[in-house]
A and B are shown apart, each in its own frame.
Chain A
Amino acid sequence: MLMKEKMPLTTTTPVPAPSAAIAAEAKERDEPLVRNNVKPEHAPNLSLSQLDNIKDTSDEGIEPGREAKMRANGVSVFYGDKQALKGVSIQIYDDLVTAFIGPSGCGKSTFLRCLNRMNDTIPSARVTGCIELDGRDITTSSMDVVQLRARVGMVFQKPNPFPKSIYENVAYGPRIHGLSSSRSELDGIVEMSLKRAGLWDEVKDRLQESGTALSGGQQQRLCIARAIAVDPEVILMDEPCSALDPIATAKIEELIHELRGRYAIAIVTHNMQQAARVSQRTAFFHLGELVEYGKTSEIFTNPREQRTQDYITGRYG
């Protein structure tokens, strides 16, 4: 265990008292830092320490002790009686792309949807644990979901533009959040968002045409522009390229590169090459557990876990 000696278990985030006690216990027993079979309640602190470690050893320009943009602490999700996610703890950094990989049904999309509380729309879903955005717990009822989703935007698996004009698609978010006071300001936001999404040159002459008339790749970039338009801090992408052809995929990946630095990006993908190409951090999920989380280069070249190794070499998944 390479991170044993610098195990900063003195967590900076508020941790519920019981789990702190468990964490201390874990330290005493000197258990491995990445455990796959711990109970959900045990996982947070352990993974947290692991994350801190990654952060410290990072050569991606992250200073030690730097605050994460989003921090999940022992997040479990239940769909009725079925547990879909078992105590996941993870940190997402401001200017890094974090990829979630894993076989189908491993809970990576479920976890992503927790980050802006899209799971609220599923009546049977229940989320436990703590997810923080800039140090504030977003899972509490006092957190306004609408504001949260404005700060944490989302791009979905299937391109889902509104059946309205291209302009209206992008302008909708700023409009409902009152981000512009005049028509020209709104025009500016639309243009800026479409430019950042790399779609402006293709659509600038037909902003009034329907968004659904665009090609699949263009639609997905329109959805990204729509997410950007409300000026979020984090963008969540749920397999954004799974419905696209290779060329459109390449464009989206290029776009992710360009957006990196401006937004914290978390991307779920089935495509391991894609994770390797676009991300700096990779989390491997399996059967609802976070198996391994670390620098992408390390996960793909030198995974610590056998299961990760098996997955990335195509033994299962």
Chain B
Amino acid sequence: MLKRVSRRYAAERRFRLLGLFAVGVSVLFLAFLLYSMAAKGLGGFVHYEAALPIDFARSDLMIDPASLRGPDAQQTVASADLETAISQAATATYGDRAAEMFGDGAVNALTKEILQRPQILSGRTTLWLPLGSKLDIAAKHRGDAHSEQLVEMLRTKHALRSSFNGGFLTASDSTDPSSVGVWGALKGSFLTILVTILLAFPVGVLAAVYLEEFAARNRWTDAIEVSINNLAAVPSIIFGLLGLAVFLNVMNLPRSAPLVGGMTLALMTMPVIVIAGRNAIKSVPPSIRDAALGVGASKMQVTFHHVLPLALPGILTGTIIGMARALGETAPLLMIGMRAFIATPPGGIADPATVLPVQIFLWSDEVDRGFVEKTSAAIIVLLLFMLLMNGLAIYLRNRFERRW
């Protein structure tokens, strides 16, 4: 007897230890993931800038300060050859090998500067401009010998400083890693997920309500149930093929657009919402239905006044899971052309766009070393975006729960 008791205790201890071990392993993995991501990616949010004295009066820049007050200011500056002006100024200050010191990022920064303060065009001024990708890497880690020497020289002249790379959050894709940003992809993701949720949530919830509350139990509903369960397990790339075949080839919707991406992802997310919704509706106690029926509520009133509000937290949990999956989805979107190089953020759901995970996939494929940290930084942005969305959904869910 006593032996059995001690054996039982030992078994319980073993089980607890195993559980602790499992939790420990998963925490370790998570910590490793977050650490490596942060270590690599945080650099993407910072860039190095160098001081550059530019004498606009002596440069070949032909910009009429008067034209900068009109509506075409942006175009005027863009058409001017700022790149050469920067290159000339850099050579003048830091010598011949500094000709390639700056990249597209510097051009963008200078454009902004001129538009904000047109008066600098009239004379000589010193500006802090972001370094080109090669030097940026050399300043952060280790670059090639040529770049390292340049950085060293800048350091000794106190002409080097690091600052927050605001452009990363406001710019879009580019060929030059010093001027890329995630804004376009972020906006694309947002629009795509908006389309997805607008399509998948109402359709999924209504399907769940109908199947659970109104549909007769027969072979047809059984068949539908099996199909929906199977649909939830279909690999996502199949949905991409479906979207390509139906939305693009048959319906002739615009290629690479968040509209089509959202529709494709909605197809993928709907079964998840239907399954979660049915389970949530099933778990509403029948006594509530009886109570409402007992005072003379119709079937629809019972469903919409009592069952659905009580099932909503559960439905939202399913929706959050489905949306998180849709947000991180890459494969189906590749099939419908959302992997194109798109340098301007989409203006609407019919404009060509890309989404964050696809952007990450594209950047990870780039040969330029400058993209490595940008990729990690984009992953951080994606994770934060997801965290934000899930947080919002969980907040909404708790609010609905508390109302009852």
Cβ of B80 under 8 Å from chain A: no
Residues of chain A at the chain B interface (Cβ within 8 Å) = 116, 118, 121, 123, 146-150, 153-156, 158, 160-164, 172-173, 176-177, 210, 223, 226-227, 229-230
Question: Which one of A123, A156, A163, A210 contacts B294 once the chains associate, using CB atoms below 8 Å?
Answer: A156
Q: Residues of A contacting B306 with CB < 8 Å? A: 162
Whether A158 and B287, one on each chain, are in contact in the complex, defined by CB atoms closer than 8 angstroms, is: yes
CB–CB A149/B404 < 8 A:
no
Q: For the complex, what is the distance from the CA of A177 to the CA of B297, rounded to whole Å?
A: 8
Residues of A within 8 A of B305 (CB): 172, 176
Given A146-B297, A153-B294, A173-B295, are A121 and B289 neighbors across the interface (CB < 8 Å)? yes
Q: Does B290 contact A (CB under 8 A)?
A: yes
* B295–A230 CB distance below 8 A: yes
- Say whether B310 faces chain A, with CB atoms less than 8 Å apart: yes
List of A residues within 8 angstroms of B296 by Cβ: 146-150, 173, 176-177, 230
Cβ contacts under 8 Å, A155 to chain B:
294
Q: Are A172 and B290 in contact (CB under 8 A)?
A: no
Query: How many Å lie between the Cα of A173 and that of B290 in the bound state?
Result: 13
8 further interface pairs, Cβ-Cβ under 8 Å (given A118-B294, A121-B293): A118-B290, A147-B296, A156-B291, A161-B291, A162-B292, A172-B297, A176-B301, A227-B295
B92 CB within 8 Å of chain A = no
In the complex, what's the smallest C-beta–C-beta distance from B51 to chain A, in angstroms?
A: 66
Instruction: Judge if B122 is at the interface, Cβ distance under 8 Å.
Output: no
CA distance A149 to B293 in the complex (A): 7
Chain B residues near A162: list those with CB within 8 A: 288, 291-292, 306
Q: Determine if B298 and A146 form an interchain contact, defined as CB atoms under 8 angstroms apart.
A: yes
Q: Measured between alpha carbons, how far is A164 from B295 in the docked complex, in Å?
A: 15
Residues of chain A lying within 8 A (CB to CB) of residue B291 = 156, 160-162, 223, 226
| Cβ-defined contact, B297 with A156, below 8 A | no
If the complex has contacts A146-B298, A210-B404, are A160 and B288 also in contact, measured as CB distance less than 8 A? yes
Min CB gap B272→A, angstroms = 26
Interface string of B9-32 (1 = CB under 8 A from A): 000000000000000000000000
Instruction: Give complex CA distance A161, B288 in Å.
Output: 7
Contact partner of A172 (CB less than 8 A), chosen from B289, B295, B310, is B295
A160 engages B287 (CB within 8 Å): yes
Chain A hits for B292, CB < 8 A: 162, 172
Interfacial chain A residues near B290, Cβ < 8 Å: 118, 121, 154, 156, 160
Within 8 A of A (CB), among B265-315: 285, 287-298, 301, 305-306, 310
B141 at the interface (CB under 8 A from A): no
Smallest distance from the beta carbon of B281 to chain A beta carbons, Å? 15
Bound-complex Cα distance A65 to B160 (A): 108
Looking at A116, A161, A162, A173, the one whose CB has the most chain B CB atoms below 10 A away is A162
CA distance A148 to B294 in the complex (A): 10
List, sorted by A's number, 21 A–B pairs whose CB atoms are closer than 8 Å: A116-B294, A118-B293, A118-B294, A121-B289, A121-B290, A123-B216, A149-B296, A150-B296, A155-B294, A156-B287, A156-B291, A158-B287, A160-B291, A164-B404, A172-B297, A173-B295, A173-B296, A176-B297, A226-B291, A226-B295, A229-B295
Give the CA-CA distance A146 to B285 in the complex, in Å: 21
Cβ of B217 within 8 Å of any chain A Cβ, yes or no, is yes
What 0/1 readout, one digit per residue, does chain B (387-398) give for beta carbons within 8 Å of chain A? 000000000000
Q: B residues within 8 A CB of A149?
A: 293-296
Q: Closest Cβ of chain B: how far from A139's Cβ, in Å?
A: 17
Residues of B within 8 A of A164 (CB): 404
CB-defined contacts of B295 to chain A, threshold 8 Å: 149-150, 153, 172-173, 176, 226-227, 229-230
CA distance A155 to B296 in the complex (A): 12
Closest A residue to B404 by beta carbon equals A163
Q: Hey, what's the 0/1 contact readout for B301-336 against A, CB within 8 Å counting as 1?
A: 100011000100000000000000000000000000
Q: Provide the residues of chain B in CB contact with A156, threshold 8 Å.
A: 287, 290-291, 294
